[in-house]
Amino acid sequence: MREVGLSEEALFTFLIERKKEDLSHSRILSSMCTPPHPVAVKAHELFIETNLGDPGLFPGTASLEKLLIQRIGTLFHLPKAEGYATSGGTESNIQALRIARYRSKSEKPNVVLPESVHFSFCKACDMLNIEMRPVPLDKNYRMDLDFAESVINEDTCCLVAVAGTTEYGKVDPIPALSEIALDKDIFFHVDAAFGGFVLPFMNNIPPFDFKCEGVSSIAVDPHKMGMSTIPTGCILVRDENMWNGLKVDTPYLSVKQEVTLVGTRPGGSVVGALAVLEYLGTKGMKAIVEGCMKNTDRLIRGMETFGYKRVVTPDVNVATFQDIEKVPDDWAVSWTRKGHLRIVCMPHVENYMIEKFLDEIGEINA
Ligand code: 0PR
């Protein structure tokens, strides 16, 4: 490192120059993150130095984490759900599989999950030495129920479903899977990292949360549709005893045991997540979700007027299209494993961006 430090002016000139290399969100259509809501930024700054890894030093911050979990538990129809704020969906999914594995007596445990799961499950299964049993999707890009049931055996320690798949924005048949999990006494984890802050604010959606008796745990990410600062995920479990296998002694901390995967944890982004929910309320969240869904719908209809067909009608704000060879320059879009164009209509993807994208792709088509 430098022997003599830079002046503040020189330092920030350098940092700002590098930041200019980053893409502007006005061209980003591929991300499941979005610039944080201003109240999240303000709250994050206020709690910037706090560490939830040693909660006895920051009891006020720790009480806000508890309140965040309580708010989300209530949203997911189980106000007494237990949980904590993770670094994101990956950590939440790893933790869910750890719980499931400790609960299982099998020496060669497997997890039954849809082919559409996020790649964080590959990491979790690799770390935990769990066999993955992928279940193909039906024609609607949802986990095939019969197939799922047929691959569950006595070594299955966990069943996983996704509420808002990363690539196609679909919700698996969670009420039916919940029945299977109850019937076979299998731990059932729902990955709602993306959909968890979308589905509760929509009308007439089938239950995907603790309302289904068989659902054991849920992952949901404030740093995606919760519009908090990065990093914030949350994991919630139905019953606090589920944490038992994960408890580790922490003799010299202000608390004697912890269940989290990481040690030092930011309080700032966690309070940021709570701030967004408190500030917007269900009314504000509904308005944002409605805007995202309207834009998703407008994009799909606009693309279809050019003859670009949707792959599937999404349940949440992720639109996918078939047989696209070229997209207009300077837009960050993504492509699914099957080669479909994928656009995520996050809160920053305003209507004017959709119209502009449609105009430009329309010109290519003309
Ligand atoms: N579960 C689901 C359903 C997800 O979609 C994701 C991430 C995760 C778990 C993992 O979450 P973390 O990344 O918070 O650990 N989905 C996006 C993806 O991998 C994340 C993302 C966000 C990617 C912004 C790109 C980007 O620009 O595609």
Kindly report the CA angle at 232 between 25 and 343, in degrees rounded to 5? 35
Spacing, Cα 11 to ligand 1 middle (Å): 32
Tell me which residue has its CA closest to atom 25 in ligand 1: 31
**CATH fold of 38-277, please?**
Aspartate Aminotransferase; domain 2 (3.40.640)
pLDDT band at 301; cut points 50, 70, 90: very high
Per-residue pLDDT of 82-100, as tens digits, reads 999 999 999 999 999 999 9
Contacts (Cβ under 8 Å, ≥6 apart) of 227: 34, 36, 37, 40, 276, 288, 347
**CATH fold of 8-36+281-365, please?**
Aspartate Aminotransferase, domain 1 (3.90.1150)
Residue 364 confidence (pLDDT): 87
Per-residue pLDDT of 244-281, as tens digits, reads 999 999 998 888 999 999 999 999 999 999 999 999 99
Residue 365 confidence (pLDDT): 75
Q: Which helix (H) or strand (E) holds 352?
A: helix 351-365
pLDDT band at 188; cut points 50, 70, 90: very high
Instruction: Point out the ligand 1 atom lying closest to the alpha carbon of residue 117.
Output: 3
Instruction: Please give the Cα distance from 185 to 322 (Å, whole number).
Output: 40
Instruction: Point out the ligand 1 atom lying closest to the alpha carbon of residue 224.
Output: 22
Spacing, Cα 249 to ligand 1 middle (Å): 31
* Range 294-302 average pLDDT: 98
Give residue limits of the domains in the chain: 8-36+281-365, 38-277
CB distance 186 to 151 below 8 Å: no
Tell me which residue has its CA closest to atom 26 in ligand 1: 31
